């Protein structure tokens, strides 16, 4: 089970991730879930600074993403796929934020 789960709500206004920003530390894990959207929708997350994570992208159904280094404030982009086709995207650097957890 991941240390952090980001819930993505997709509406006509776009993507709304919760929590946002996400606070993480090295060694923690992250997973993403589509909470609101089409029943057959899948999400694709692309990290804008992938050097902080175990993979550059997260496809719904992938294993957890591992935080490999303390990130500077960074962002990720969200895409919604239906039957393998992109039907919506958050736009460049507009999906959600990830920041270091200093606690």
Query: pTM here?
Result: 0.92
Please check the confidence at residue 28 and state whether its pLDDT lies above 70: yes
Q: Which residues of 20-36 are buried (b: 16+ CB within 10 A; e: fewer)?
A: eebebeeebbbbbebee
Nearest to 67 by CA among 79, 52, 86: 52
Identify the pLDDT of residue 50: 97
Map out the domains of the chain with their CATH numbers: 4-100 (2.60.40)
Summarised one tens digit per residue, pLDDT across range 31-72 is 999 999 998 999 999 999 999 999 999 999 899 999 999 999
């Amino acid at each position: 089970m991941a240390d952090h789960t980001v819930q993505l709500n997709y509406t006509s206004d776009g993507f709304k991730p919760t929590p946002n920003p996400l606070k993480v530390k090295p060694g923690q894990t992250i997973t993403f879930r589509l909470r609101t959207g089409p029943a057959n929708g899948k999400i694709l997350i692309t990290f804008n600074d992938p050097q902080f994570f175990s993979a550059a992208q997260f496809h719904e159904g992938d294993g957890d993403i591992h935080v490999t280094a303390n990130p500077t404030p960074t962002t990720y982009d969200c895409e919604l796929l239906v039957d393998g086709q992109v039907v919506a995207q958050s736009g460049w650097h507009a999906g959600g934020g990830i920041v270091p957890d200093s606690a």
